[in-house]
């Protein structure tokens, strides 16, 4: 499971022409799954995302988590996070989970995030044509690969 975390002052997603999510201060999470991902990957990712201290405290030091700031979360599925680019110029997405595996993982990730944050996350629609807008704050952009955490 791979997640690209972006600290934002605002973000929104339009899925199939309809706005399905919009947040103020918080995190935009671009999430991609692979076939070997399990619920333990989701649990790790939710814990890591919600507890990363990437928000400024009163002294201007990145010392607070999205939970501590009562920030919002926008989740967008993105299979291209698993692109392989070693050969040629056309990325291969063979490592990305197929929809029958990825959709339940995506839904589980959203549910787990809601439970951890004690409020509903906003999300794009899996597999939809999406337009994502954001104002990156910092910028702060962090990459998480749950497989690297297990090494």
User: Which CATH number do you get for residue 35?
Assistant: 3.50.80.10
Q: Report, in this order, helix, strand and coil percent for the chain, each rounded to 5.
A: 25, 40, 35
Tokens of 102: 């990825």
Catalytic positions are 80
> pLDDT, tens digit, for every residue of 74-91?
999 999 999 999 999 999
Total count of domains within the chain: 1
SS (H, E, C) 45-81: HHHHHHHCCCEECCCCCEEECCCCCCCEEEEEECHHH
CB count in 10 Å sphere of residue 29? 26
> pLDDT, tens digit, for every residue of 48-68?
999 999 999 999 999 999 999
> pLDDT, tens digit, for every residue of 108-136?
999 999 999 999 999 999 999 999 999 99
Domain range enclosing 80 = 2-149
Separation of alpha carbons 61 and 59, rounded Å: 6
């Amino acid at each position: 499971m791979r997640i690209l975390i972006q600290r934002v002052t605002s973000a929104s997603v339009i899925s199939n022409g309809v706005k399905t999510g919009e947040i103020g201060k918080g995190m935009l999470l671009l999430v991609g799954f692979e076939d070997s991902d399990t619920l333990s990957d989701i649990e790790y990712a939710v814990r890591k995302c919600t507890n990363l201290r990437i928000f400024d405290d009163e002294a201007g030091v990145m010392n607070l988590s999205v939970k501590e700031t009562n920030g919002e979360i926008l989740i967008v599925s993105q299979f291209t996070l698993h692109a392989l680019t070693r050969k040629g110029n056309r990325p291969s997405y063979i490592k990305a989970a197929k929809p029958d595996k990825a959709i339940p993982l995506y839904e589980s990730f959203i549910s787990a995030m809601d439970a951890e944050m004690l409020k509903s996350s906003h999300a794009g629609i899996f597999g939809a044509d999406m337009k994502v807008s954001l104002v990156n704050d910092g910028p702060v952009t962090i990459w998480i690969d749950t497989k690297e955490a297990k090494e």
